[in-house]
Each structure stands twice: as C-alpha cells, then as structure tokens.
C-alpha cells in the first residue's frame, strides 16, 4: 500500500505514545504516510517512495546504552527530516550536537516564542504560541550547520533547523491537540519542505485499491467476510469493483450478535448494496467452543479460528476460492502489535489479526489495513454507501463474547442483548448516536444485592459504556446527560430479568481500552 503518486512520508517510530497521532496529522494534510519501526529494513521503507521522514518521540534517552539509534538510510537519503522530541535529540546527537539530562523538566503546556519567522517550518504562524512539552532531556549544543528557531523559558533550543539540508527538530509535540498550531507546522513540513502534493483522498484511495486488488487476485476468486459494519461493507464493495462476480460474500452468524442483527443485515445487503450474500448459522459451533472459557485472549483466538473454519467450509461449497477479504483496519494491526512486534506491546489480539490460525486455506485481501476508521467512513461516503452503514458504531468481530466478562453462556447472552438494545435505543432517542463513537452494555460477573417488589434480589451488575473518539486509538468517556443515564438504568433493571444494578464507566482510553475484554 503506497501513495498512488509517490507523495508519501515515513514516520519512524521510536515508541512514543503519540506516534499514531503523527500519522493522522499527516493524512489530514492529504498526504499518505505509514508508521515504520525504527529497526525496519531499508527495503521496507523504500516501497513507500517517501519524500521525507518524521522521527517520533520515545521514552528512552539518546545517551543510554541500548537506546534506539537513527537508521542510516534516513540521512543517507538526502530527504527532509523532522525530529520530534526524542527524534530531535537523536538527530542532534547523530550530527555532532550534545544532549544531556536537564534539571528543569518540561511536562504540559509551555509558551513557545519563534526566533526565526523566516523558516518555512513556521511560515504564516504567530510569534508566540502554546505547545505541549514532555521531556527530561534537552540539547545543550547544536550540531554544526543548525541554528535555533524557537525557545521556551526552560528550553532555549525548543526548535532547530538546518535550512540548507532541510533538517529540523522540535522539542515539543506538534501532533497533539494541545499544541495550538501543531497541525500547521506538520502541514508546512510535508507540503512546503518535502514538496508533497495533496494526493491522499478517498477517490485516489478507491482507484488505487481497486487496481491493487486486481493485481493481487489476478484470475482468482475471493470470499468476503461480511458483517454489516462499515469496514467489511467497504471492503466488499472495493473487491466487487475490482473482480465483479468472482467475489462471494458470506455472513457468519456466530451467535454473538446484537438483537435483530441478522434480520437487519438481510434487509441491507441485497436491496441496498446489491451484494449477493450467503448466510451461515454457525452459532452452535462457536458457543460449543467457548464453553468454560473465561480468558479474553483465548476467546478471541477461538473465535478467530472458528471464523476461518466456517469460511473454509463455505468456500468448499462455492468452488475453488483462493482469497479471503476482510475489513482489517490500522488500529487492529497496531493494537495487535502488528506494526512493530519487536518493540510494541500487544494490547489485545484482534480476531482478524493475531487471532487468525497459523494454517488456513486462504491468502488475505485487506484493502483497509492502513486506514483509520474515520478514513474508512470517508471512503464509504465516496462509494455512495447509506449513512446508516457509514456512521454505524463499531462492533467487535468477536461480538458480545468480549462484552461478557467471564464465560459466555446462552443465559448471559440473552441478558446482555436485552440490556444492550436498551442502551442503543435510549442514545438514539436522545439524538446522541452520532455524537458518541460507541455505546454499549457490558455484563459483569459481579452479582449484587437489591430490593425489587419488597423482595431481596441477588442479580447481575450491568456496566454501560459510551465514549467519544476520532479513530478509536484514544477515547474519552462521554458525559451523557443525567436524564439519559437515568432512563437507561431504569429500563434495564425493570425490563431485563437477572439485572438489579447499572453502573456507568467513566474511564478514558488510555488507561483502559474501549471494550472491557
């Protein structure tokens, strides 16, 4: 996956918690980029046909013995480079500067003063601006050829530049929203300094993806895992445009769906999307495999394997099928440590990435593998998909299995479906559905004492979760109106047998994840 015109930027990842945000800001400037591990091979980077590099921040200090080093190809390329925080210090040390620990660490907001407004990095920006700092080291001496471009009270070298070689460094983080003009700084770098054009658009992505799928599949046949969400639907439409009737879509009901999901999908696929879909009821085999399983990673692994086996069985009925198309997204890859398994922590295994079995009869077709959710939605709108599909809340592939903490049973599924239906209904009734990223119920393994009809009860506790987000990589809990939460709670305890208490999750991501398992 590369930019169709070669206008791309590589973000070299040194482990910053903000690395994915750098990628987002570049793509918001309509320039394609990818997050590349700091120890990736030169060949892996060359496939991007990059016009510049951005070096991310990171938790290490450049003078530590085992600190990540600057890849040789970065400076040898002669292309523009922008180092951020650790990336700036690494660039300085590599080129002959001096980096040392500072007695006055900077964390949080700081006031930046631009010392050289003639630099293209700060073109058309105000002299003074708020920036976000997060560092305990600083540059004590600039490398030869560099000059100071900006400063703060505690950082006399808050930005540096060698205009002739187009090498720059920022001590602060332009990618976070707290830095007032951070997006403009990144845009200046990728457009004016790297010379990238605004070629990363939904239409260009569609054209490139269709061509890539044709080249990958050749004369082969594809089976597409269709769930009804925007990711799998966009995937199916792209593959259909590429190979026509050599695509077969399969909807597998694993018994872990929301209330009314199967009926909704039947009404959606054929008349609205023109997709011919095979419906497979595999609920018994999934629930049988999940019996007695409580570990969330094991649940995901089992579900991922069973999905593949179900698709293999259907493929055998359809004739020789060589490829499986699925709606894998960039956050799935990142959270499953698929971007850099050498240094990234595995948060959870996504059933369609790390949860796939090691042996299967298909090669994968994943046209959305490097897209964030909001980018997929833009592509969906460009393809003409109905808004009800494009803006539907994300629903995990493992379904309600990861919203039941503990063992998945028929009884618990019935309880959770009823509670979850109420949550969504009340969010929609309050006209808040488009304001939140996801809203759902979680069935906890906890039972609590209650009083209903003058009788003592000892029933389940249901947790309600609603978050706001741009792409699912980070999220804040949604401050739903008290009256909405009251209606949700009242309806659940009165309408759902087996529940006598409702709690609201007010934890952001991080430190939690959006899903509970």
Task: Lowest mean pLDDT of 11-25, 85-99, 358-372, name the range.
Answer: 358-372
Q: How many helices (H) and strands (E) does the chain have?
A: 15, 18
- Mean pLDDT over 34-52 rounds to 90
Q: Out of 33, 34, 38, 85, pick the active-site residue.
A: 85
Helix (H) or strand (E) holding 55: strand 50-55
- Mean pLDDT over 287-314 rounds to 91
pLDDT tens for each residue of 85-96:
999 999 999 999
**Is 194 assigned a catalytic role?**
no
User: Cis bond leading into 511, ω under 30°?
Assistant: yes
Instruction: Output the pTM of the full model.
Output: 0.78
Question: Distance of alpha carbon 370 from its chain centroid, rounded?
Answer: 9
pLDDT tens for each residue of 92-137:
999 999 888 876 666 788 899 998 889 999 999 999 999 988 767 8
Amino acid 355: pLDDT:
46
**Is 224 assigned a catalytic role?**
no
Q: Out of 38, 135, 173, 351, pick the active-site residue.
A: 173
Three-point CA angle 439, 442, 445, nearest 5°? 170
Amino acid 50: pLDDT:
93
CB 339 within 8 A of CB 319: no
Q: Out of 33, 38, 135, 175, pick the active-site residue.
A: 175
Residue found by looking up tokens 């249901």 in the block: 462
Between CA 149 and CA 385 the distance in angstroms is 47
Task: Lowest mean pLDDT of 36-40, 335-339, 476-480, name the range.
Answer: 335-339
């Amino acid at each position: 996956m590369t930019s169709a015109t070669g206008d791309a930027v590589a973000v070299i990842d040194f482990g910053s918690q903000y690395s994915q945000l750098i990628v987002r800001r570049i793509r918001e400037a309509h320039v394609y980029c990818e997050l590349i591990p700091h120890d990736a091979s030169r060949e892996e980077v060359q496939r991007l046909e990059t016009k510049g590099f951005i070096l991310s921040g990171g938790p290490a200090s450049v003078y530590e013995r085992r600190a990540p080093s600057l890849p040789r190809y970065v400076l040898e390329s002669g292309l523009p480079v922008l180092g951020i925080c650790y990336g700036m210090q690494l660039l300085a040390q590599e080129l002959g500067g001096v980096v040392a620990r500072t007695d006055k660490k900077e964390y949080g907001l700081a006031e930046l003063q631009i010392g050289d407004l003639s630099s293209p990095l700060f073109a058309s920006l105000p002299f003074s601006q708020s920036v976000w700092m997060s560092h305990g080291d600083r540059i004590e001496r600039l490398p030869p050829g560099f000059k100071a471009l900006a400063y703060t009270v505690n950082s006399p070298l808050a930005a540096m530049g060698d205009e002739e070689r187009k090498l720059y460094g920022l001590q602060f983080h332009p990618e976070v929203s707290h830095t007032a003009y951070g997006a403009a700084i990144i845009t200046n770098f990728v457009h004016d300094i790297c010379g990238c054009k605004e070629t990363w658009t939904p239409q260009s992505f569609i054209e490139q993806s269709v061509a890539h799928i044709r080249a990958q599949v050749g004369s082969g046949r594809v089976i597409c895992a269709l769930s009804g969400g925007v990711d799998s639907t966009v995937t199916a439409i792209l593959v259909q445009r590429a190979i026509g009737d050599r695509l077969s879509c399969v909807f597998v009901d694993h018994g872990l769906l929301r209330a009314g999901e199967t009926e909704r999908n039947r009404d959606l696929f054929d008349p609205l999307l023109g997709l011919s879909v095979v419906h497979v009821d595999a609920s018994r085999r999934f629930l049988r495999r999940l019996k007695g399983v409580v570990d969330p990673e094991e649940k995901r692994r089992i579900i991922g394997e069973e999905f593949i086996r179900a698709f293999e069985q259907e493929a055998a009925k359809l004739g020789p099928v060589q490829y499986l198309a699925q709606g894998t997204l960039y956050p799935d890859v990142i959270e499953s440590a698929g971007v850099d398994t050498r240094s990234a922590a595995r948060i959870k295994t996504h059933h369609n990435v790390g949860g796939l079995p090691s042996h299967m009869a298909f090669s994968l077709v994943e046209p959305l593998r490097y897209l964030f959710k909001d980018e997929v939605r833009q592509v969906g709108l460009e393809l003409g998909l109905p808004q009800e599909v494009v803006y539907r809340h994300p629903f995990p592939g493992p379904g309600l299995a990861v919203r039941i903490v503990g063992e998945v049973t028929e009884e618990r599924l019935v309880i959770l479906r009823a509670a979850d239906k109420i949550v969504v209904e009340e969010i929609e009734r309050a006209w808040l559905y488009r304001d939140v990223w996801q809203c759902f119920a979680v069935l906890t393994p906890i039972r609590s004492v209650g009083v209903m009809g003058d009788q003592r009860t000892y029933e389940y506790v249901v947790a309600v979760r609603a978050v706001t987000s741009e792409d699912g990589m980070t999220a804040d809990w949604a401050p739903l109106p008290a009256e909405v939460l009251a209606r949700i709670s009242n309806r659940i305890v009165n309408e759902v047998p087996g529940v006598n208490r409702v709690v609201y999750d007010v934890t952001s991501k991080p430190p939690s994840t959006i899903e509970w398992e």
